[in-house]
Structure 1
Amino acid sequence: MRLSLYRALDRLIVRQPDPARVGWLRQWTYAHRGLHGETVPENSLAAARGAIAAGLGIECDIQRSRDDWPMVFHDWELSRLTGADGDTGDLTKEELQGLHYTRSEERPATLAELLELVAGQVPLLIEIKSKRGYDVIRTCREVRDALTGYKGDHAVMSFDPRVARWLRRHSPGTVAGLVMREDKYGYTQKPWERHMALWLARPDFLAYHVAALPNPMVADLRERGLPILTWTVKSPDTRETARRYADASIAEGAGLA
C-alpha cells in the first residue's frame, strides 16, 4: 500500500521532460570519468581526449577549490589520485594545478579547460560532488557560470537533490539529473528516502546504480518517459542489465566492450 502511494505521488510531482530537450541522453554511452586506465588518470584531459577519439560521451566529477573554481576531480581527499596530503577543497586552483596525478604528467583540470577541449564534440555529464554539511549551492553557481555560452550537449547531476532543484530555479535551460544508489554507501537506502529525493529534485533524468536495477520505481518512471542512465557498467553482466533496464550506460573497462 505504501509503495503504491509513493508511486502515485511520483506521477503527480515528477515532471516528464520535453523529449526534444533530453533525447540526446539516450543516444550515447558515457565513459565514466573519461576513458581512463592504467596510464591515463580518471577525470584528466587525457581521459577526455580518449573518450572523444572513441566516440563516447564523457561523465566527469566536480569538486570546488578553496577559491571557488570548479575542478574536474572526484575525491574529497588528494591522496588516492595525486599522492599529496590534505583535502581537495583546502587548496586553491593554482595549488591544485601544481599537483600531478600519480604516474602521470596530467594535472587536475578546471571545468573551463574541459569545456574548451570538448567544444561540443561529444556530450558531457557533469556530476557535482556533495556531502552532508557541504555548501553545494556555491558549486552550483560556479558550474552554471562556467557553462554560460557553452553550446554542446551537457547535463549536470548529483546525488544531492538540492542541485537539480537549484538548477531548475536558477538555470532552467540546464538539463538536471539525480544520481541515486540504494546500498550502504548512499543516502537513499530506504524507499521513503528515494522518493523524497526524487520529489525534491524533480529531475530531467535519473542516473541509477546498476546494482539496484531492476526496480519498480525506476521502471515506472522510465515507462512514463523519464530517461534512465545507469552506472557504473563494468562487465558483460552489467552491460546486459543496462541494456534491459536503462536507456544509456555510464561505463568503464569491460563495460565499454
Structure 2
Amino acid sequence: MSRPDLPRAFLTAPIAHRALHDVTRGRPENSLSAIGAAVAAGYGIEIDLQLTKDGQAVVFHDYELERLTGAPGTVREHTAAQLGDIALLHGDGETIPTLAQVLSKVAGRVPLLIELKDQDGAMGPDVGPLEQATATALVNYDGPVAVMSFNPNGMAEMARLLDGIPRGLTTSDYAHDDWPLRPELCDHLREIPDFDRVGASFISHQARDLARPRVAELRAAGVPVLCWTIRSQQAEEAARAVAHNITFEGYAAAIPLTSTG
C-alpha cells in the first residue's frame, strides 16, 4: 500500500465546506451552483458522497432527503435518476448532482476534497459499493483530488481500489453525546489509531479539538492537518495555530496571495 502525498494545493487556498453555499444567493450546499461559485472565487472545495439505490455516488451530505429537499425518504432508497428529479430547497430548480457531474464542473481547476459518508452505520467493515463508485468516477480525473472518511474501513477499501489517490481520515473528539456509536468505539477512534493501517496521508480534524496531543504528534511527523468547520475569521486565526488549512463556511475566508488556487 502506497501513501500518496497530499498535493500542495490543499494547503494554500481555504476549502469551502460543502462548496461555497449560500441559500440567500440561491446556492444550496453541495450544489452545482455552489461548486461553480467556489471555482470562480479560487477556493478549494469539500463535498460529501452518498450511495444511491443503483450504486451511484451522488453529492449530498445527509442520509435523509428532507432537510435539503423537503422530500421524504433516504438517498439510498432512490436511483440517481430519481434524485436528479428532486429539487434542492432554495436552489432555483437545481437537483442532487452525481459525482461525475461535479467532476466535470470542477475539471481540475481547484483542489477537490471528497468525503465518503459512512455507509456501515457504525464505522464498521460493511463498506465497498460507495468506494467502488467513487473509484470508478475518479480513475481518469485530472486534477488535485483527495478522499477522506470518518470510517477508516472506507479508506482501506479506497487504498485497495485506487491506491494512487491521497487518502485521509476525517477525525473528531468523538464526544459521546454527539455520536450514535458505542462509547468504547468513540474512545478508540478519538486517538486516530488507523492512520497508518489505511495508508492515510492527512487528517481533517474537528476544529474545537485541535489541541489534542495525537494531532500534534501527527503534525510533528510531517502529516498535513486540515480542520473543520470554521465559521469566522476569529476562529480561523485560532485554528491556523495548529492546522495547515481550514474548511470554512458562512464568511469569506481570505485566499493567501501566494495561493495558486
Amino acid at match of 2:18: R
Which runs of structure 2 are paired with 1:206-245 in the superposition (5 Å)? 206-245=203-242
Amino acid at match of 1:221: L
- Normalization by structure 2: what TM-score? 0.86
Task: Tell me which residue corresponds to 1:32.
Answer: 17
Task: Tell me which residue corresponds to 2:137.
Answer: 146
Task: Tell me which residue corresponds to 1:89.
Answer: 76
Measured in 1, the distance between the counterparts of 2:144 and 2:192 equals 28
Measured in 2, the distance between the counterparts of 1:134 and 1:101 equals 31
Measured in 2, the distance between the counterparts of 1:156 and 1:114 equals 14
The one-character-per-residue Cα deviations of 1:176-205 (angstroms, maximum 9, x if unpaired) are 010011123346642565333334434110
Which runs of structure 2 are paired with 1:98-137 in the superposition (5 Å)? 98-104=85-91, 105-130=93-118, 131-132=121-122, 135-137=126-128
Task: Tell me which residue corresponds to 1:190.
Answer: 187
Measured in 2, the distance between the counterparts of 1:18 and 1:65 equals 29
Measured in 1, the distance between the counterparts of 2:72 and 2:134 equals 26
In terms of fraction of residues, the more helix-rich structure is: 1
List alignment gaps of at least 5 residues for structure 2. Answer: 255-261
Q: Go from structure 1 to structure 2 and tell me whether the alpha carbon gap of 1:102 and 1:221 turns closer, same or farther (over 3 Å shift).
A: same
Identity over the aligned pairs, expressed in percent?
A: 36
1:134 CA displacement: 8.0
In the alignment, does 2:173 pair up with 1:176?
A: no
Task: Work out whether residues 3 and 199 of structure 2, in 8 Å CA contact, stay in contact via their aligned partners in 1.
Answer: no
Measured in 2, the distance between the counterparts of 1:212 and 1:189 equals 14
1:170 CA displacement: 2.5
Measured in 2, the distance between the counterparts of 1:46 and 1:165 equals 32
Amino acid at match of 1:236: Q
Measured in 2, the distance between the counterparts of 1:34 and 1:41 equals 9
Secondary structure of residue in 2 paired with 1:230: strand
Amino acid at match of 1:78: L
1:16 CA displacement: 10
Number of matched residues?
Answer: 242
Larger RCO (alpha carbons 8 Å, 6+ apart): 2
In the alignment, does 2:14 pair up with 1:23?
A: no
In the alignment, does 2:33 pair up with 1:46?
A: yes
1:48 CA displacement: 0.3
Task: Tell me which residue corresponds to 1:256.
Answer: 253
Q: Go from structure 1 to structure 2 and tell me whether the alpha carbon gap of 1:193 and 1:252 turns closer, same or farther (over 3 Å shift).
A: closer
Task: Work out whether residues 155 and 198 of structure 2, in 8 Å CA contact, stay in contact via their aligned partners in 1.
Answer: yes
Task: Tell me which residue corresponds to 1:61.
Answer: 48
